[in-house]
Amino acid sequence: MTITTKVMGSGEHCVTWDATLERAKKANEIFQLDHFPEYISYFSLVYDFKVIKFEEKKYRVEFVFTQSAYDSTTGRKSCAISDYYYEPCAVWMNNTEGKKLMFQKFSRPKGWKITTAFRQISFTVNIYIKFNSFREINVLLKQLTDIYANQSNCDIQFLFQDGQKIGGHISILAARSPVFAAMFNNQPTKTDPVLINDTPPDILKEVLHFIYSGRTRVPLTEANVWSLFTAAEKYDVAGLKEECTRFLLIQIRASNAIDWLVLADFHSIQSVKKAALKIITANFKIIFPTHEWEEFAKSYPDLCLPITLTTIGQINS
C-alpha cells in the first residue's frame, strides 16, 4: 500500500491510495498535508471491508480518516487561528462514473468516513480534501517565499565549506530567529558572508525556507527529521522544532523507539522521550532479545534502568 499527496490549489489536496483488501492485515496509513503556515496536518487513513457477493468479487469498503490532535502533540495551549482553517471543510472521492461521493463528518474522535462498493480486491482511490482558505496570509507567504526562492535583493549570504552560497534577508531572518539576530549584530560588516561549518547546505536551506514560508520544501521523514530538529534548535526556530516534534510523536514505533529515546534524551525532548519509554516497555518481549537492546543497555544504563524496573513490575503484577 502506498499513499501520495498532491496540492491541487485553492486549499484543495488530492490523496492517492493504492491498496489491496487484506482481512488479516489492518490497513492504517499516516500521511501529512502541508496546508497552512507552520502547521502540517497529519491524518490516519484506515479501511475496513466485507464481501457482498463473493462470486462477483463485490466488496463494501468503509474508509475512515482522522486528523491528529493539534495541542496534545505540540504542547501548545492555545492557537490564534481557529479550527475553521485547520480542519477540512469538505472531503470526497469520485466513483468509476466520475460522480462525487462526499465523506460524512463525525465528532468523536473528529474524522470523516464513507462507505462505498468495489468490484476488485486491488484498487486506486483518489480522496480530495478541501480546506478553507486564509487568503491574505497565503498571499503574503507566497510573496515572501518567492523572494527567498528567487534570491531577490538578498543582503546577507551564507557560505558553506564546499563553496555553495545561499542568500537571505537580514530583517526577515532576524525577526524569526534570535540566533540569526545576534549573529548579524556581531557581523563586522553586513556585506561579509556568514560561514556555516556545522549544518549541511540542504538542511540549512530547509530551515531558511521554513522561516520565509512556514513550511519546509520537502516533507518531514525519518531520514531528515532529526537533522532538521538539530538545526532548528541551533537557530532557535520554534515553529520548525514543534513540527519536528509532532512528526516524531506520530511516527514513533517499536522499531525506532530505542534510537529515538537516545536522541530525545540528548535533545531534552521530554514528550518524545516519554513516548519512546512507553513503547519500549509495551513491546519488551520483542525488543529485549535484540542486539540493539543489548548495545543500548551497555551504552546507556541510566536510560535502561527505569525501563527494566517498569518491565519487571509489569511481569510481577
Same domain, 69 and 97: yes
Same domain, 94 and 210: no
Give pLDDT, residue 27.
67
Among 77, 104, 133, identify where a domain stops: 133
Among 133, 168, 199, identify where a domain stops: 133
- Total count of residues recorded for the chain: 317
Element (H, E) at 15: strand 12-20
Q: C-alpha cell of 260?
A: 529515538
For the domain that residue 265 is a member of, what is the CATH number? Answer: 1.25.40.420
Mean pLDDT of all residues in 23-36: 70
Tell me which residue has cell 466485507: 50
Name the domain count of the chain: 3
The CA R_g of the chain, rounded to the nearest whole Å, is 23
Same domain, 99 and 180: no
Same domain, 260 and 301: yes
- Average of per-residue pLDDT values in the chain: 83
Contacts for 57 with CB less than 8 Å, ≥ 6 apart: 119, 120, 121
Give pLDDT, residue 11.
77
Give pLDDT, residue 168.
93
Contact 214, 153 (CB under 8 A): no
Ranges 7-11, 80-84, 133-137: which has the least confidence: 80-84
Give pLDDT, residue 79.
43
The parent domain of residue 21 ranges over 2-133
Query: For the stretch 124-158, what's the b/e string if a residue is b when 16 or more beta carbons lie within 10 angstroms of its beta carbon?
Result: ebebbbbbbbbeeeeeebeebbebbeeeeebebeb
Q: How many Å apart are CA 263 and CA 220, to the nearest integer?
A: 17
Q: What is the DSSP letter of 2?
A: E
142, pLDDT greater than 50 = yes
Same domain, 77 and 144: no
Ranges 65-69, 77-81, 115-119, 243-247: which has the least confidence: 77-81
Give pLDDT, residue 1.
59
Same domain, 49 and 152: no
Give pLDDT, residue 74.
41
Same domain, 17 and 122: yes
Q: How many Å apart are CA 312 and CA 55, to the nearest integer?
A: 52
214, pLDDT greater than 50 = yes
Ranges 11-15, 21-25, 204-208, 216-220: which has the least confidence: 21-25
Question: Above pLDDT 70, what percent of the chain?
Answer: 85
Same domain, 167 and 209: yes
Among 219, 247, 275, identify where a domain stops: 247
For the domain that residue 210 is a member of, what is the CATH number? Answer: 3.30.710.10
Mean pLDDT of all residues in 240-262: 92
Give pLDDT, residue 201.
94
Same domain, 266 and 299: yes
Q: What is the pLDDT of residues 85-136, one digit of tens each?
A: 678 888 999 876 778 899 998 887 778 999 988 777 787 888 999 887 666 6
Higher pLDDT, 262 or 30: 262
Q: What is the pLDDT of residues 156-209, one digit of tens each?
A: 999 998 889 999 999 999 999 999 999 888 776 667 788 998 899 999 999 999
Work out the pLDDT band at 72, boundaries 50, 70, 90: very low
Residue 116, classed as helix, strand or coil, is: strand
What pTM was computed for the model? Answer: 0.68
Tell me which residue has cell 536510560: 303
Same domain, 31 and 95: yes
